[in-house]
Amino acid sequence: MTLQTVTWMSAFLCLAQVCSVPMPCQLQGQLVRITHNLLRDMGGNFPLECLQENVFVAFPATAFTISGESQLSSSGAMAIYETLKNIDTLFGADDLPTKWDQQKLENFQNIVYRQIEESKCMMGSVDTSDYLIRTEGLKTYFGNIAAVLKEKNFSYCAWEVVRKELLYSLQFILEHNSDSLLWANRT
């Protein structure tokens, strides 16, 4: 009986120790990559029938790199967080294309939401010296994307333009800012 009690207490203490380890407050690189891949795969290549409606929306690269820095400050990591929040807002619409793979779309929305929820703790670690510059660029960028949707009455082609722009944004983050993301096991 004593051995069984000691075993259970040991197991409980081990579990309590593991559960009390603080989780790092960082966006997970693998989830950003999965988000990008789901967005890419839910609709395939840019449709030929939408080429005439394709517009360019200037991407705010300065929101992710200030003064040529390759390493992101905490406010730079917040730019990634803000990007995900804006993506979540855009994809919260009721009139998303039915031509897209609905399961991939749902998984995309869930993973974006998960990343936002798990990274809310970043809000207290903002380096305000350049955070406002970064967020202003993102605000303009996502405002322009929302304007394209509205101007084109949330049509399928308008959503394809949005998807193309967001793919570029996520790819830019993965290529130029992967050091600011948490990667489980890089091999």
Q: Is 186 within the bounds of a domain?
A: no
Question: Which of 73-82, 105-114, 134-143, 150-159 is the least confident region?
Answer: 73-82
pLDDT reported for residue 16? 44
pLDDT reported for residue 183? 73
Q: Is 170 within the bounds of a domain?
A: yes
Q: Is 93 within the bounds of a domain?
A: yes
- The model scores a pTM over 0.75: yes
Q: How far apart are CA 70 and CA 140, in angstroms?
A: 23
Q: Are 80 and 64 in contact (CB under 8 A)?
A: yes
Q: Is 159 within the bounds of a domain?
A: yes
Q: Is 18 within the bounds of a domain?
A: no
* Domain housing 98: 24-180
Task: Find the radius of gyration of the CA atoms of the chain.
Answer: 20
Q: Is 97 within the bounds of a domain?
A: yes
Q: Is 11 within the bounds of a domain?
A: no
Compute the average pLDDT of residues 8-35: 62
Take residue 87 and report the two structure tokens written for it. 């993506």
- In tens, the pLDDT along 160-176 reads 999 999 999 999 988 88
Q: Are 77 and 180 in contact (CB under 8 A)?
A: yes
Q: What is the CATH number of the domain that holds 39?
A: 1.20.1250.10
Q: How far apart are CA 104 and CA 43, in angstroms?
A: 9
Percent of the chain scored above 90 by pLDDT? Answer: 46
Q: Is 110 within the bounds of a domain?
A: yes
Take residue 92 and report the two structure tokens written for it. 């919260």
Residue the block writes with tokens 């929302």? 146
Domain count, the chain: 1
Q: How far apart are CA 57 and CA 43, in angstroms?
A: 20
Question: Which of 3-7, 10-14, 54-58, 131-135 is the least confident region?
Answer: 10-14
- In tens, the pLDDT along 32-80 reads 899 999 999 999 999 999 999 999 898 888 887 755 444 445 666 788 8
Phi and psi at 28, nearest 5°, equal -85, 120
Read off the amino acid at residue 181.
L
